[in-house]
C-alpha cells in the first residue's frame, strides 16, 4: 500500500502545484518521456528458452516507465510511474509484477542553496565510490530516497551533502546512507602568452549504517562459524575518495583514489572451515578495501590517445551484505575494456571484479583525413595474483566516400576467463579471433543499406596460455550477418542471423532476428522477432548473465 | 572564499572524525534451542553450480550445531535452473526431479542457486521464501526458538526382500489450527558419489547427501484438514515400492522426510518437520 499512497500524494502534489503556479501567471514547463517494452515468450528448449514462468504459462510480459518533469517558479518537480507485468528484467529466471510511483522529487534553488527531496540520482567523482543511478535494461535503480543539499560556495566551488535509504523496486532497503562532497575548479585563465591549465579537485565521503535487523541476521550467521573463521560486525562503513582532473593544453589527466573502511562482505572464493573438519569455499570476511584509478588522455588534430589504469581490492560496496548480483550496488565501476557494439565482438565482456582486479587499457584513434579513420584498443586485466582474466586487442579502419558509402573493417582478439567471470567451474578461458566488416551504402539521401558481418573463431591459442591440452571453445565458432535498410525519416527494416557454424555445446542453431522500426516525430515503435543466445549482457557499463530469449519484442518510445 | 572552503573541509572532517567509534554487536555462542519446532531446509542445488557446495557445507554446519534431527534438510535439483543443475557429460546420476521442479516454482524462483527455504517463512518485511546460504542460519535460529503447533510422527516399515515401504504418518494438533494444513512427504538419499563443480574445480568423487529421490505425497502436499483442533489426530499410511538398487536407491542410505504446512492467506509456513531412516540392517 505504501507505494500507492506515495503515488497518490505525488500526483496530487504535481497537479495542484502546476495548477496553482500556472494560475499565478508563472512560466511553467512540462516535459516527459515514455519507454515501454512488451515481450511474447515462445518456448524453444533447444536454446534454453524454457522453464521459466513466462515460457511455461504466462506467455507475455513487459515493463514501462512514464516520466513527467514540471518546472515553474524555480521549482523542479518530477514523477515517474513504473509498471512491471510478468517482467523478466529483475530476475531473468523469474517473473516480477509490480506497479506504482517509481520515482518522484521536488527541487528548489533558494539563493545559493539547492534542495532536492525525494528520489536522488547523484554521484561523487567518477561514481566508482558512490553513485545512485538507473540502468533500465538490467533493472538497476539505485536511487536514494532522502534529501540532498548543495551549496554554491563560489562560482567554482560547491559543497553537497545527502542522506537517504536506497530504493529496492517499490520498497526501500533498511540501511541508511549519508554522504557529501566538496568539488572545485582552478584555472590559469589562459591569458595571452600563457598556456591554459585547469584543475578540478574534489573530495567525498559516504557512510552506510546497517540496521539492527540486518546486523542480527549477520550475527546469526557468524555464530555458526568455527573459531578460526570467527569475525566481528560493524554497523558503520565509511568510504572516502579524492579526485582531480588536470588539463594542460591537449593533455587531460584524471586521478581518483578511494578507500573503504573495514566492513563485512561475502567472498565466494575464501576457504571456510566447517564444524565437521572439512573446508568449503565462500564465507564472510571483514576487511577494508581500496580503488585507484587514473586516466591520461591526449587529443590534438586527428589524434586521440587515452591510457587508463585501475587497481582495486575488496571494493565491493553494497547497501547490505545480503545484496547480490546487480542489487544493492552503491557504486558504479565500469569494465576496463572497450564497449563493443557489433554482436559477436560484444559477446564476451570483462565484468569488474570488485574483490581484486588490476587493469590497463590503451585507446588510440587517428583520423588521417575526412575519409580515413583508424583506431586501436588494448585491454589487459588480471586478478591481484597475476592470473589472466581478460585480454583484448582490437583494431579497425573506416573509409568514407562522402554521400556514397562508408566501409568499416577490423579484427578483435580476446581472451575471456569464463571460469572467473561466470563462475563456471568446468569452463576455461575462451580465446577468440573475430574479424568484422560493416558496409553502409547510400542509394539516395533517404535510402540506405547497412550490412555487417563478423566471424568468431574460438579454436586459437593466440595468447599462448594453453599448454598441453585442448583450447576451451565454449559454444564454438559463430558467424553473424545483419542487413538493415533505412528509409528516412520513418522506417528501418532489419534482419540478422547468428549461426553456430562450428558447434561445441549444442547442435548447430540459427539465432535469427528480424523486425522493423517506425519513427514519427518523437515517437518510435519497434517490433521484432528475436532468437538470442545466452551470454553476459553489459549495458551502461554494468553486466549480468542473461539466459537465452526466443519470442517477439515490442518497444515504444516517446518524448514530449 | 578561502574561509568558506576551509569551513566546508572542517565540517567534513568533523562529521566523519567524530562519529567513527561505535559499539559493535556481541556475537554470542550458539545455545541449545529453547523451542520444540524443527526446521526443514529445502535446498535447491546443482552439480554444475560452483557455489552449491557452500550450501551443503552450511547445512552440515547447522546440523552439527543444532542436530540433524532438529534441522532436517533435503536437497533438490530442478530443471528450471538450467545448466547449473543438469548432469555433466560424465556424471553417473541425474538428480533432477519433477517434484523439485514443481516445488521451486511453487516457492518462487530464486535469482541464483544455491537457495533454500527454511520452514517456508520469509524474513520479516520480505516476501521471497528462497534465500542464499548466508541467510539460512538466522532463519533456522528463529524457527528453532518457536513451539511446534503440531506433532508429526513418521513410522517407516521396510521389507528388504520385497523392497516394499510403508510409512505410517500421525499428525497431532498441539493447538487450534484455523486454516487448511497439508502433509508433504518424500524420500531422500545420502552418500551418493558423483561429480560436482566446486568453485573453479571439478570434484570427481563428491558425496551428495540428502538428495531428493521422489515425493510420496503430491509434490505440493496432500490435504490433511481444513482446520485442526487442539489434540486432534490425523493418521494415514502410504505404501510404495523402492526401485531396484542400481548404484543409488540404496535402502540403508534412504530416509523419509515429512512436514506439515499451513496454507492460507498466501502463507505456506511449515508447522513441524521430521525424518526417519527407512532401513537399518
Where in the sequence is the domain holding A205, given as residue range(s)? 124-333
Looking at the structure, do residues A553 and A406 belong to the same domain, yes or no? yes
Q: Is B58 in Cβ contact with A182 (below 8 Å)?
A: no
Checking if the pLDDT of A426 tops 50, the result is yes
pLDDT of residue A471: 81
Is A56's pLDDT higher than 50?
Answer: yes
User: Is B190 inside any structural domain?
Assistant: yes
How much is the pLDDT for A475?
Answer: 84
Full-model pTM = 0.84
pLDDT over 90 for what percent of chain A?
Answer: 65
Give the integer Cα–Cα distance in Å for A48 and B82.
Answer: 7
Concatenated DSSP letters of chain B? -HHHHHHHHHHHHHHHHTT----PPP-PPP----S---EEEEEE--TT-TTHHHHHHHHHHHHHHH-TTTEEEEEEB-STTGGGTSPPTT-S---B-HHHHHHHHHH---SSSSEEEETT-PPTT---S-B-GGGHHHHHHHHHTSPPSEEEEEEEEEETTTTEEEEEEEEEESS-B-S-EEEEEEEEE--EEEEEEETTEEEEEEEE-SEEEEESS-TT-EEEES-B-TT-EEEEEEEEEPPPPSSS--GGGEEEEEEEEE-STT---EEEEEEEES---
| Residue B28: predicted pLDDT | 85
Residue A340 lies in a domain: no
Residue B86 C-alpha, separation from nearest chain A C-alpha, in angstroms: 12
Q: Kindly state whether residues A233 and A152 are assigned to the same domain.
A: yes
Q: Which of A7-16, A61-70, A437-446, A532-541 has the lowest mean pLDDT?
A: A7-16
Pairing of strands A197-209, A171-183: antiparallel
Whole-number Å distance between alpha carbons of A366 and A376: 9
Domain coverage including residue B52: 35-277
Check residue B17 and give its pLDDT. Answer: 56
CB contact under 8 A, A93 and B201: no
Whether A284 has its CB under 8 Å from any CB of chain B: the answer is yes
Given a contact cutoff of 8 angstroms between Cβ atoms, the answer to whether B278 and B251 are in contact is: yes
Residue B1 lies in a domain: no
Residue B145 lies in a domain: yes
In a domain, B121, yes or no: yes
| Pick from A275, A324, A425: CB nearest B61 | A275
Band the pLDDT of A1: cuts 50, 70, 90.
very low
Within the 30-69 window of chain A, which residues sit less than 8 Å (CB to CB) from chain B? 48, 51-53, 56
pLDDT tier at B30, thresholds 50, 70, 90: confident
Q: Do A153 and B1 touch (CB under 8 A)?
A: yes
With cut-offs at 50, 70 and 90, classify the pLDDT of residue A4: very low
Asked if B263 has any chain A CB less than 8 Å from its own CB, the reply is no
* Minimal C-alpha gap between A86 and chain B (Å): 13
Model pLDDT for residues A175-204, shown as the tens digit of each residue: 999 999 999 998 887 666 667 899 999 999
pLDDT in tens, A19-46: 555 555 456 788 999 999 999 999 998 8
Based on the number of CB atoms within 10 Å of its own CB, is B114 exposed (0-12), middle (13-18) or buried (19 or more)?
A: buried
The answer as to whether B26 is a domain residue is no
**Which of A307, A333, A359 is the last residue before a domain boundary?**
A333
Helix, coil or strand: residue A27: coil
Q: Does B110 touch chain A (CB under 8 A)?
A: yes
pLDDT digits (tens, 9 = 90+) for B214-270: 999 999 999 999 999 999 999 999 999 999 998 899 999 999 999 999 987 677 899
Highest mean pLDDT pick, A60-69, A325-334, A541-550: A60-69
- Domain annotation covers residue A117: no
Contacts of A221 in chain B (CB under 8 A): 134-138
Q: Is B48 on the interface with A (CB under 8 A)?
A: yes
Interface probe with B: pick from A45, A318, A426, most Cβ of B within 10 Å = A426
Nearest CA-CA distance, residue B135 and chain A, Å = 7
Last residue of a domain, one of A301, A333, A365: A333
Between chains, do A220 and B137 touch, taking CB under 8 Å as contact?
yes
Residues A304 and A212 in one domain: yes
Task: Give the rounded percent of residues in chain A with a pLDDT score beyond 70.
Answer: 91
User: To the nearest whole angstrom, how far is the Cα of A198 from the nearest Cα of chain B?
Assistant: 18
Using alpha carbons only, how large is chain A's radius of gyration in Å? 26
Taking contacts as CB-CB distances below 8 angstroms, the residues of chain A near B61 are 224, 274-276
Higher pLDDT, B165 or A538: B165
- Between chain A and chain B, the number of residue pairs with CB atoms below 8 A apart is 170
Predicted pLDDT of residue B89: 85
Greater confidence (A393 vs A11) lies with: A393
Q: Do A157 and B201 touch (CB under 8 A)?
A: no
| Smallest CA–CA distance from A181 into chain B, residue | B12
Residues of A in contact with B197 (CB under 8 A): 424-426
* Poorest-pLDDT segment among A90-104, A396-410, B167-181: A90-104
Q: Is A8 on the interface with B (CB under 8 A)?
A: no
Out of A90, A221, A230, whose CB is closest to B134? A221
Residue B23 confidence (pLDDT): 87
Cβ <8 Å between B25 and A284: no
CA distance A360 to B144: 51
Q: What is the mean pLDDT of residues B72-76?
A: 97
Task: Give the closest residue to A474 by CA, choosing from A521, A534, A515.
Answer: A534
| B137 reaches A (C-beta below 8 A) | yes
Residues of chain A in contact with residue B56, where contact means CB-CB under 8 angstroms, are 280
Q: Are the beta carbons of A223 and B12 separated by less than 8 Å?
A: no
Residue A386: phi and psi, rounded to 5, are: 95, 0
Peptide bond into A433 cis (omega under 30): no
Q: Is residue B21 part of a domain?
A: no
The answer to whether residue B16 sits within a structural domain is no
Q: Which of A91, A272, A419 sits opposite B57 (nearest CB)?
A: A272
Q: What is the mean pLDDT of chain A?
A: 89
Let me know if residue B73 belongs to a domain. Answer: yes
Residue-wise pLDDT tens digits, A290-334: 999 999 999 998 999 999 999 999 998 999 988 877 889 999 999
Pairing relationship of beta strands B39-44 and A549-559 according to DSSP bridges: unpaired
Residue A377's contacts (CB-CB under 8 Å, 6 or more residues apart) are A337, A338, A361, A362, A363, A364, A392, A393, A394, A395
Predicted confidence (pLDDT) at residue A97 exceeds the cutoff of 90 = yes
Residue B143 touches partner A, C-beta closer than 8 Å: no
| Mean pLDDT for chain B overall | 89
Nearest residue of A to residue B88, measured between CA atoms = A426
Q: Which of A51, A52, A223 sits opposite B137 (nearest CB)?
A: A223
Interface membership of B15 toward A (CB under 8 Å): yes
Which distant-in-sequence residues (6+ apart) come within 8 Å of A111 by Cβ? none
Query: A323 and A189 in one domain?
Result: yes
pLDDT at A190: 61
CA A406/CA A147 separation, integer angstroms: 50
pLDDT in tens, A220-259: 889 889 989 999 999 999 999 999 999 998 999 999 999 9
Q: Is A426 on the interface with B (CB under 8 A)?
A: yes
Residue A523 lies in a domain: yes
Which residue of B105, B109, B201 is in closest CB contact with A91?
B109
Q: Is the ipTM of this complex over 0.90?
A: no
Let me know whether A197 and A128 are in one domain. Answer: yes
Once rounded to an integer, what is the mean pLDDT over residues A52-65? 91
Which chain A residues contact residue B110 at CB under 8 A?
91, 93-94
Q: How far apart are CA B78 and CA B97, in angstroms?
A: 6
CA-based nearest distance B175→chain A, Å: 29
Among A171-175, A279-283, A285-289, B235-239, whose mean pLDDT is lowest?
A: A279-283
Q: Is A27 left (phi over 0), alpha (psi -120 to 50) or beta?
A: beta
pLDDT in tens, B36-72: 999 999 999 999 888 888 899 999 999 999 999 999 9
Asked if B45 has any chain A CB less than 8 Å from its own CB, the reply is: no
Return the CATH number at A515.
Answer: 2.40.160
Residues A477 and A528 placed together within one structural domain of the fold: yes
Query: What is the tens place of the pLDDT at every residue in A462-491?
Result: 888 877 677 888 888 999 999 999 999 999
Query: Rounded to the nearest 5°, which phi and psi values hold at B63?
Result: -70, -35
Q: What's the total number of domains in chain B?
A: 1
Chain A residues with beta carbon closer than 8 angstroms to that of B109:
52-53, 91, 93-95
Cell of B34: 529453547
Average pLDDT over residues A137-157: 93
| Residue of A262, A425, A469 to mutate, testing the B interface (most B Cβ within 10 Å of its Cβ) | A425
Tell me which chain A residues have a C-beta less than 8 angstroms from the C-beta of B54. Answer: 268, 272, 280-282
Residue B49: CATH number of its domain: 2.60.40.10
Residue A343 placed within a domain: no
Residues 198-257 of A with CB under 8 A from B: 203, 205, 207, 213, 215-224, 230, 232-236, 238, 240
User: Best interface-test mutation with B: which of A159, A282, A385, A419 has the largest number of B CBs within 10 A?
Assistant: A282
Interface of A with B in 92-121 (CB under 8 A): 93-95
Residue A119 forms part of a structural domain: no
Give contacts of B 165-224 with A, CB under 8 A: 197-202
CB of B17 within 8 Å of a chain A CB? The answer is no
* Residues in chain A closer than 8 A to B201 (CB atoms): 425
How many structural domains compose chain A?
3
Tens of pLDDT along A342-355?
Answer: 999 998 989 899 99
Amino acid at each position: 500500500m505504501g507505494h500507492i499512497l506515495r503515488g497518490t500524494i505525488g500526483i496530487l502534489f504535481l497537479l495542484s502545484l502546476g495548477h496553482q503556479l500556472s494560475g499565478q501567471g508563472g512560466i511553467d514547463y512540462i516535459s516527459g518521456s515514455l519507454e515501454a517494452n512488451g515481450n511474447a515468450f515462445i518456448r524453444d528448449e533447444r536454446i534454453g528458452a524454457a522453464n521459466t514462468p513466462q515460457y511455461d504459462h504466462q506467455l507475455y510480459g513487459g515493463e514501462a516507465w512514464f516520466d513527467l518533469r514540471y518546472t515553474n517558479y524555480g521549482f523542479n518537480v518530477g514523477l515517474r510511474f513504473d509498471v512491471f507485468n510478468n517482467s523478466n528484467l529483475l530476475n531473468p529466471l523469474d517473473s516480477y509484477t509490480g506497479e506504482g510511483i517509481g520515482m518522484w522529487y521536488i527541487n528548489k534553488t533558494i539563493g545559493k542553496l539547492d534542495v532536492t527531496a525525494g528520489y536522488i540520482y547523484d554521484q561523487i567523482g567518477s561514481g566508482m565510490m558512490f553513485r545512485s543511478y538507473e540502468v533500465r535494461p538490467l533493472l538497476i535503480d539505485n536511487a536514494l530516497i532522502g534529501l540532498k543539499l548543495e551549496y554554491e560556495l563560489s562560482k567554482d566551488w560547491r559543497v553537497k551533502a545527502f542522506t537517504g535509504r536506497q530504493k529496492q523496486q517499490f520498497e526501500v532497503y533498511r540501511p541508511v546512507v549519508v554522504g557529501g562532497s566538496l568539488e572545485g575548479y582552478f584555472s590559469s585563465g589562459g591569458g595571452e602568452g600563457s598556456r591554459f591549465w585547469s584543475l578540478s579537485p574534489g573530495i567525498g565521503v559516504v557512510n552506510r549504517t546497517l540496521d539492527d535487523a540486518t546486523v542480527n541476521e549477520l550475527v546469526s550467521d557468524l555464530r555458526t562459524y568455527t573459531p578460526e573463521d570467527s569475525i566481528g560486525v560493524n554497523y558503520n562503513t565509511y568510504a572516502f575518495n579524492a579526485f582531480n582532473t588536470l588539463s594542460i593544453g591537449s593533455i587531460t589527466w584524471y586521478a581518483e583514489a578511494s578507500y573503504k573502511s573495514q566492513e563485512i562482505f561475502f567472498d565466494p572464493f575464501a576457504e571456510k572451515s566447517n564444524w565437521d573438519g572439512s573446508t568449503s569455499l565462500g564465507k564472510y570476511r571483514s576487511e577494508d578495501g581500496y580503488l585507484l584509478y587514473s586516466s591520461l588522455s591526449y587529443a590534438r588534430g586527428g589524434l586521440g590517445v587515452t591510457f587508463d589504469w585501475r587497481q582495486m581490492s575488496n571494493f565491493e560496496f553494497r547497501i547490505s551484505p545480503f545484496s547480490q548480483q546487480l542489487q544493492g550496488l552503491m557504486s558504479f565501476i565500469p569494465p576496463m575494456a572497450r564497449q563493443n557494439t557489433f554482436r559477436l565482438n560484444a559477446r564476451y565482456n570483462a565484468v569488474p571484479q570488485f574483490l581484486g582486479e588490476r587493469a590497463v587499457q590503451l585507446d588510440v584513434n587517428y583520423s588521417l583525413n575526412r575519409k580515413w579513420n583508424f583506431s586501436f584498443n588494448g585491454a589487459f586485466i588480471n586478478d591481484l595474483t597475476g592470473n589472466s582474466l581478460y585480454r583484448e586487442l582490437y583494431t579497425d579502419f573506416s573509409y568514407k566516400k562522402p554521400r556514397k558509402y562508408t566501409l568499416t573493417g577490423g579484427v578483435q582478439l580476446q581472451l575471456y576467463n569464463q571460469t572467473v567471470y561466470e563462475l563456471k567451474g568446468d569452463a576455461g578461458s575462451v580465446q577468440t579471433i573475430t574479424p568484422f566488416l560493416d558496409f553502409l551504402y547510400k542509394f539516395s539521401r533517404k535510402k540506405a543499406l547497412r550490412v555487417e558481418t563478423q566471424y568468431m573463431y574460438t579454436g586459437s591459442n593466440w595468447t599462448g596460455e594453453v599448454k598441453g591440452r585442448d583450447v576451451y571453445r565454449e559454444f564454438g565458432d559463430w558467424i553473424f550477418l545483419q542487413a538493415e535498410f533505412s528509409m528516412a525519416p520513418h522506417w528501418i527494416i532489419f534482419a540478422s542471423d547468428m549461426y553456430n557454424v562450428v558447434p561445441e555445446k549444442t547442435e548447430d542453431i540459427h539465432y535469427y532476428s528480424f523486425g522493423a522500426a517506425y519513427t514519427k516525430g518523437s515517437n518510435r515503435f519497434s517490433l521484432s522477432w528475436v532468437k538470442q543466445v545466452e551470454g553476459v549482457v553489459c549495458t551502461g557499463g554494468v553486466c549480468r548473465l542473461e539466459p537465452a530469449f526466443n519470442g517477439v519484442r515490442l518497444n515504444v518510445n516517446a518524448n514530449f | 572564499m578561502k574561509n568558506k572552503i576551509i569551513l566546508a573541509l572542517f565540517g567534513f572532517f568533523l562529521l566523519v572524525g567524530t562519529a567513527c567509534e561505535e559499539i559493535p554487536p556481541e556475537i554470542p555462542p550458539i545455545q541449545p534451542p529453547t523451542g520444540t519446532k524443527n526446521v526443514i531446509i529445502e535446498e535447491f542445488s546443482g552439480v554444475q553450480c560452483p557455489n552449491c557446495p557452500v550450501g551443503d557445507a552450511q547445512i552440515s554446519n547447522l546440523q552439527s550445531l543444532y542436530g540433524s534431527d532438529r534441522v532436517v534438510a533435503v536437497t533438490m535439483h530442478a530443471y528450471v535452473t538450467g545448466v547449473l543443475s543438469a548432469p555433466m557429460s560424465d556424471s553417473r546420476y541425474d538428480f533432477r526431479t519433477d517434484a523439485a521442479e514443481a516445488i521451486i516454482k511453487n516457492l518462487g524462483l530464486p535469482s541464483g542457486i544455491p537457495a533454500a527455504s527454511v520452514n517456508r517463512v520469509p524474513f520479516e518485511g520480505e516476501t521471497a521464501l528462497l534465500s542464499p546460504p548466508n541467510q539460512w542460519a538466522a532463519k533456522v535460529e528463529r524457527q528453532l526458538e518457536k513451539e511446534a503447533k503440531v506433532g508429526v510422527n513418521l513410522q517407516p516399515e521396510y521389507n528388504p526382500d520385497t523392497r516394499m515401504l510403508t510409512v505410517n504418518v500421525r499428525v497431532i494438533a498441539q493447538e487450534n489450527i484455523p486454516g487448511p494444513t497439508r502433509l508433504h512427504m518424500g524420500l531422500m538419499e545420502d552418500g551418493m558419489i558423483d561429480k560436482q563443480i566446486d568453485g573453479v574445480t571439478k570434484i570427481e568423487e563428491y558425496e551428495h547427501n540428502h538428495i531428493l529421490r521422489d515425493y510420496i505425497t503430491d509434490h505440493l502436499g496432500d490435504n490433511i484438514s481444513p482446520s485442526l483442533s487442539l489434540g486432534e489426530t490425523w493418521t494415514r499410511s502410504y505404501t510404495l515400492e523402492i526401485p531396484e538398487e542400481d548404484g543409488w536407491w540404496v535402502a540403508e542410505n534412504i530416509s523419509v522426510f515429512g512436514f506439515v504446512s499451513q496454507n492460507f492467506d498466501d502463507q505456506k509456513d511449515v508447522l513441524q518437520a521430521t525424518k526417519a531412516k527407512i532401513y537399518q540392517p
